[in-house]
Structure 1
Amino acid sequence: MKGPEVLPILKDEPWLEKYAAKIQNRFDKFQSAKKEIEQHSGSILEYARIHEFYGIHFEPLRNGWVYREWAPAADELYFFGDFNNWDRRSHPMKKNPRGDWEIFLPFDQYKDRFLHGSKVKVHVISPKNALDRIPVYIRRVVQDEKSHDFAGQLWFGEKFKWMDSEFSAANSFKQPLIYECHVGMAQEKLGIGTYKEFETEILPRIKKAGYNTIQLMAIMEHPYYGSFGYHVSNFFAPTSRFGTPEELKSLVDKAHEMGIAVIMDIVHSHAVKNVNEGINEFDGSDHQYFHPGPRGYHEGWDSKVFDYNKPEVQQFLLSNIRYWMEEFHIDGFRFDGVTSIMYLHHGLFMDFDNVDLYFDSNIDEEAILYLQLANSLIHQLQPNSLSIAEDVSGMPGLSRKIEDGGIGFDFRMAMGVPDYWIKTLKHKQDEEWDMFELWHQLSNRPIKERSIAYAESHDQALVGDKSLAFWLMDKEMYFSMSLLQQNLVVDRGIALHKMIRMITFSLGGEGYLNFIGNEFGHPEWVDFPREGNDWSYQYARRQWSLVDDPLLRYGQLGAWDKAMTSLGTKYQVLASKHAVQLYLDPNKKIIAYERANLIFVFSFHPTESFFGFPIHLPSPGSYKIILDSDEKAFGGFERLDKSVEYFTDKDQNLLLYLPNRTMLVLERQ
């Protein structure tokens, strides 16, 4: 009798053989859960429609509004708001044995009171307390300017007319060039930017810069602006700080018109612990949506941890995915905190230096099952969708298909790369840079697991750290970025900034990410208004005037970044196979490799230039420089002549002039 088929991941990665039983069990568990869902709901698509049952909906057949809530531990629920003059007792809800509460408001009776824009809450009485809460599935939440109190808001606006029926994210996702952005801090003004401003003022910049995907941060409603959107309170409500739901839809629609895909940060790793604004202890218990006791509390983030084993929680989170994809035409997600989701220790204080750690008793298999279900749903809803995992642990199979024995993400964030760059700039002199370590850090990844490479994201620029540009040039950026003056610190900083980004881009992954403004070397750090900075917006904005000023050198960095994305798009560099090393010299600080039939040569030497330097090439013939970082337009010294044609010699070597701190790209003619 023939045994079960060996999962592809075990064939491709022989070192996982020791864990074959656990990997197979993970796959079998998914298959079993999928079958159970299909028996219960017909399909995972139907399973992920619970948001169409709970919350506030108009029911044409009954001609009225129904509000439903799941709150099994609660004793009484009362619906109240503007429509009943905030009377906490006049509108009791009825409970069924499952723990669902419901109230119906006939249209004829409430048509003049239950209105678009009016505010609502639900009064929940439990054995523990009696509190006013925001409906869990509410679609919009607003904050009162005077009291600062949050409330749900009815939103019965006209149906948005989408114009993106012909848009497909397929081309973007062959090699995602992702522009990570925060709508609120995207403007130069000292204040919060809006969806509309982002659509009209920032999207054209992103298009011009050559990015094919935007990653929207902080879109799910969160009570504290300074949390960067990672302490979510209302999972089905796009934050009202930036505007209306229709204005967010317009932003997405406009991006699609420009050929730009839209993904969003989705925070299913934890939730804000706030009781007044969030879903914590909604029915009075500590274990409705979250694990009870200490397991339900995330010490590192001061937040609540979901119980992924509960069907009601699974449906809540999966329906949340479906909602964003269908209601707002989101093309995919970057899942925040995947390390925290997968491990009971949440990855805190862990080095992940032992393979056993991926399969030991600290793994939350129920959480991994949820991630598999989430990825299955995403790709069933939209085949041309994108799911990215933010994971620092290096979990094997994270970005492999479920049927291969993986967890189902399309890409994983190459989180070790930006950490490597920051540590290098912090702790090493230029002469000490290790070329072997650099090559290993950027190229060492599984052949069949795609990565998003990045030199820095929002994480590296938060208060307590600095952007790469600021690490490289620091205070000199305040005084010496003029084209009319020369400064050795700035010259070094600009040269290395370009090289760091290009080697990360061309060597580090199958996709690339840049944080808003960092492409032109945005100075300083990111700091949101808080008590510690007197509620200032000084560092929660982007100074576009710097890159727009023709007399400042920020424009040169912006031009380089555009040339880099243009090269990547034209030659599909990131969609190509892994790079093949051609040369590495640790003392001369030279690295050369081939990718996408292009030759990339980097000379990181801080002082020495090399003449007639031999690089052995895989194919003989003539070659020309198609891009080099030493061009004057990019802040270089114009030491290379792009009109020169280089011919391989009898040993198949190309003899090149390699100026210090310069990279060049050659193409065979």
Structure 2
Amino acid sequence: MNKLMLIQKDPWLEPYAEAIEGRHNDVIKKEQDLTQNGRLSLSDFASGYLYFGLQRMADGGWVFREWAPNATAIYLVGDFNGWEKREDYRLRRLEGAAGNWEIVLPADALHHGDLYKLRMEWEGGAGERIPAWCRRVVQDETTKIFSAQVWDPAEKYKFRVNDFRPDTSPLLIYECHIGMATEEEKTGTYEEFRLKVLPRVARDGYNAIQIMAIQEHPYYGSFGYHVSSFFAASSRFGTPEELKRLIDDAHALGLAVIMDIVHSHAVKNEAEGLGRFDGSYRQYFHTGERREHRAWDSLCFDYGRNEVLHFLLSNCKFWLDEYRFDGFRFDGVTSMLYYSHGLGEAFSNYGDYYNGHQDGDAIVYLTLANRLIHEVNPHAVTIAEEVSGMPGLAARFEDGGYDFDYRMAMNIPDFWIKTLKEKKDEDWHPSAIWWETTNRRADEKTISYAESHDQALVGDKTIIFWLIDADMYWHMQTNDRNLTVERGLALHKMIRLVTATTMNGGYLNFMGNEFGHPEWIDFPREGNGWSYKYARRQWGLVDNPDLKYHFLGDFDHAMLALIHSVPAFQALPLQKVWDNDGDQVLAYMRGDFVFAFNFSPTHSFTDYGLLTPEGSYRVVLNTDDPLYGGNGLTDDSIEHFTQPDPLYAPDGKGWLKLYLPARTAMVLRRVTPKKRKPKR
């Protein structure tokens, strides 16, 4: 039997070949089980949303179905029957269907906009429930009670863009949240985001948006991570048609739309969520000690149940099919992979990934989810938010991996925050910066980022806040010279440049961070007087030419334009040219580009020599350019020629001598190779 390619490429995995091959075979067996040994496709299996929930029939009538094996009786209650339990709205248990219930109703029994719930009864109890498969949930503004809503508009949204493919060369992601994307102190809407933010993102040079908090969640302050209704797009931002129009417009602008999907856990709520849906504790979730994720105060799915796999896999296909999302960023993958949820684990050697503490059922689910997603849409993008470093996560299934397209490079933002918190400027070591930004498995693509939404949450600080702090409130006018602000602007640009240009798959930025948004994120809650002051984005700051924020925004735009100018930039081999911790200088190459950084806060260098391929070079981007708030200490119109060195001439290399001012970085492009004298 041939070894899986994952093991062939990494001999250090050889001692764990049995475990790796066992997991691989478990996926194959489960897929055969779910697809009846191949008689169905995985996509056929994951079509539960076309059967369960409220459906229109061909004759105009209605059929509603629900899976509730522990229920003894189920009634539809709502606006249409005065919210009373009535026999003519009682579901019948389907014979031989393992807990499926159904009711068929005439066309005039329900109407678009009607509110409804399920009156669920079980041995020893009863309660009202929102259907598990419902596609629309709304909250009453007065009572704050959530209900399902019949959604059957006369005019269904028709997509205009039908052949969109994400641009992944590279993937440049703008992470965003619809509700806090407005400048006003309120909850933003799909329409406001479509009209005001999408064009901005496209102009800035991003080719994808990653939207948080789409799945319905009862508590706004959870940032969308305590999901209650998995098939319902959050109604606090608008209607399903408005979300579809947003996605359609994004595609027209060339933007892929990635959904931040939460399948790692669910809200504990019973009235709004699945916590005790049919009266039992184990319908969707584990029982006993494994039921609750104590760190997140939520419930953990039982991925070992085929019905749960059916629900979650159908959820993946639903968002691709119904809304035309272009893929998913899977939240909390580390929590899924380990019985410990990764809490307190060191992950210091390969043995920590194969010691029996891993949830094999979750691994099977994640792999099947990726296989399904790529079956439904071969161009879809899947990203794993995973911090432990599990080998093979973003490797192909055929090679023994879990089939994600990318994994988040979560070490990089942790490194930057730790550096800003703990190190003086003179202790920033280029060798450490190079290691952290390039340390990854050769056979797995990653999404690099300096900071995401995590670093902006209340209780933490964004990079710009660590750099400038309160001086941002007083010294950001363009005519105000302030040493703290100037240091902050310089390092902010350098951090982003080295993070983005060392990527091997994609780059991500959370909205507002590109221009140094001055505020943290704090959603309305009792502790802040239910204020929206910190749950918004102040676009007026970057749009104001008299403030320095636009320097950072302009640099971000120029950096992305540079990356876009090179076909398949992320695939160009990275080659370190030089690093010197004493000088605090780092230089590396990608193709014809030289990236030179001087992190020293005090030392500028004249004629600093870098050994590069012979030729002439021109500066194409400089963090010290006055256009980006710099001091303009170099003349970037000068063409730089390498100087020959007999020692390296046989290799076609020479010395590129540069002036490197303190706290600056420049990007040079080789314009022409240096002509070499013919041999006699």
Q: Same fold (TM over 0.5)?
A: yes
In the alignment, structure 1 residue 425 sits paired with structure 2 residue 409: no
Code of the aligned partner of 1:581: K
Query: Shift of residue 114 of structure 1?
Result: 0.7
Q: Which residue of the partner structure matches residue 268 of structure 1?
A: 263
CA–CA distance in structure 1, aligned partners of residues 347 and 459 of structure 2 = 25
Q: Does 1:595 align with 2:593?
A: no
SS in 1 for 2:65: strand
* 1:644 counterpart = 2:646: no
Query: What residue in structure 2 maps to residue 56 of structure 1?
Result: 54
Question: Structure 1: how far apart are the matches of 2:269 and 2:341?
Answer: 21
Task: Give the corresponding residue for 2:184.
Answer: 189
Residue 633 of structure 1 is matched in structure 2 by 627
Q: Does 1:102 align with 2:102?
A: yes
Structure 2 residues not aligned, in runs of 5+: 646-653, 672-680
Q: 1:45 corresponds to which residue? A: 43
1:329-382: CA deviation from partner (whole Å, max 9, x where unpaired): 000000000001111111112231122111112100110000110000110111
How far has the Cα of 1:85 moved from its partner?
A: 1.1
The counterpart of 1:133, out of the listed 115, 129, 141, is 129
Return the alpha-carbon distance in structure 2 between the equivalents of residues 275 and 168 of structure 1.
39
**Separation (CA, whole Å) in 2 of partners of 1:585 and 1:573:** 29
Select the residue among 240, 246, 249 that pairs with 1:254: 249
CA distance in 2 between partners of 1:622 and 1:9 (Å): 41
Structure 1 counterpart of 2:650: none
> What SS does the aligned partner of 2:347 have?
coil
- Offset of residue 574 of structure 1: 4.3
Correspondence for 2:570: 575
Do the aligned residues in 2 keep the contact of 1:572 with 1:596 (CA within 8 Å)?
A: no
Q: CA deviation at 1:208?
A: 0.7
Aligned to 1:6: 3
The structural deviation recorded for 1:508 is 3.8
SS in 1 for 2:489: helix
- Tell me if the contact between 1:286 and 1:293 (Cα under 8 Å) persists in the aligned partners: no
Verify the 8 A CA contact 1:447 1:578 in the aligned structure 2.
no
Q: Cα deviations across residues 170-201 of structure 1 (Å, max 9, x unaligned)?
A: xx223110000000000100000000000000
* Equivalent position of 1:73 in the other structure: 70
Range that drifts further, 578-587 or 566-575: 566-575
Match of 1:119 among 115, 119, 129: 115
Paired residue for 1:93? 91
The normalised TM-score by structure 1 is 0.97
Q: Deviations over 1:57-93 (max 9, x none)?
A: 11225x5211111111111111111111111243221
Query: Retained in 1: the 8 A contact 2:643–2:656?
Result: yes
Contact 2:116/2:149 (CA < 8 Å) preserved in 1? yes
Residue in 1 that maps onto 2:678: none
The whole-number CA distance in structure 2 between the counterparts of 1:548 and 1:220 is: 32
Corresponding residue for residue 148 of structure 2: 152
Provide the C-alpha distance between the structure 2 equivalents of 1:471 and 1:230, rounded to a whole number of angstroms.
26
Alignment partner for residue 527 of structure 1, among 507, 522, 531? 522
Partner amino acid, structure 2, of 1:53: Y
Deviation at 1:229, TM superposition (A): 0.2
2:506 aligns with 511
CA deviation string 1:565-595 (max 9, x = no partner)? 1011111464223411000000110000011
Aligned counterparts of 1:128 and 1:382: Cα–Cα separation in 2: 45
Instruction: Kindly indicate whether the alpha-carbon contact (under 8 Å) linking 2:169 and 2:568 is maintained by their aligned counterparts in 1.
Output: no
Cα pair 1:179 1:515 within 8 Å, conserved: yes
- Aligned pair partner of 1:317 in 302, 312, 330: 312
Distance in 2 of aligned mates of 1:560 and 1:350: 39
Alpha-carbon separation, structure 2, partners of 1:587 and 1:532: 47
- The reply on whether 1:542 has 2:537 as its aligned counterpart is yes
Following the alignment from structure 2 to structure 1, what is the Cα–Cα distance between the partners of residues 491 and 568?
Answer: 21
Secondary structure of the residue that 1:132 maps to in structure 2? strand
CA deviation profile, 1:588-636 (whole Å, cap 9, x unmatched): 100000113211000000011000010011x111111111111001010
Structure 2 contact 503–570 (Cα < 8 Å) conserved: no
Distance 1:394 1:537 in 2: 37
Taking the aligned partners of 1:578 and 1:346, their CA distance within structure 2 comes to 35
Which structure 1 segments of 5+ residues have no match?
none
1:301 maps to 296
* Local SS of the residue matching 2:168: helix
Tell whether the 8 Å contact from 1:77 to 1:123 is kept in structure 2 after alignment: yes
Alignment counterpart, residue 28 of structure 1, candidates 7, 25, 28: 25
Asked whether the 8 Å contact 1:269–1:340 carries over to 2, the reply is yes
User: Is residue 2:222 matched to residue 1:237?
Assistant: no
1:499 aligned residue: 494
Name whichever of 160-169 and 248-257 sits farther off: 160-169
Q: Does 1:623 align with 2:617?
A: yes
> Is contact 2:115-2:149 (8 Å) kept?
yes
State the one-letter code of the partner of 1:527.
D
Structure 2 residue aligned with 1:659:
661
3-state secondary structure, aligned to 2:103: strand
Q: Distance in 2 between matches of 1:615 and 1:129?
A: 76
Distance 1:248 1:433 in 2: 44
* Per-residue deviation, 1:270: 0.3
In 1, Cα distance between equivalents of 2:258 and 2:44: 23
1:326 equivalent in structure 2: 321
Identify if the C-alpha distance between structure 1 residues 492 and 128 changes in structure 2 by more than 3 Å, giving closer, same or farther.
Answer: farther
Change (3 A) 1:17 1:128: farther
The structural deviation recorded for 1:639 is: 0.9
C-alpha distance after superposition, 1:101-128 (max 9, x if no partner): 1111122xxx1x4100010100111124
- Partners of 1:509 and 1:77 lie apart in 2 by 52
Task: Name the SS of the counterpart of 1:500 in structure 2.
Answer: helix
Question: Alignment length, in residue pairs?
Answer: 658
8 Å Cα contact 2:54/2:62 also seen in 1: yes
Query: Which residue pairs with 1:15 in the alignment?
Result: 12
Cα deviations across residues 21-65 of structure 1 (Å, max 9, x unaligned)?
A: 11111111111222222216611010000111110111225x521
* Structure-2-length-normalised TM-score: 0.96
572-581 vs 127-136, which moves further:
572-581
C-alpha separation in 2, matches of 1:234 and 1:31: 30
Deviation >3 Å, runs of 4+: none
User: Which residue identity does 1:160 align to in structure 2?
Assistant: Y
Judged with a 3 Å threshold, the aligned counterparts in structure 2 of structure 1 residues 627 and 335 are, in CA distance, closer, same or farther, namely: same
For 1:379 and 1:224, how far apart are their aligned partners in 2?
Answer: 32
Q: Secondary structure of the equivalent of 1:272?
A: coil
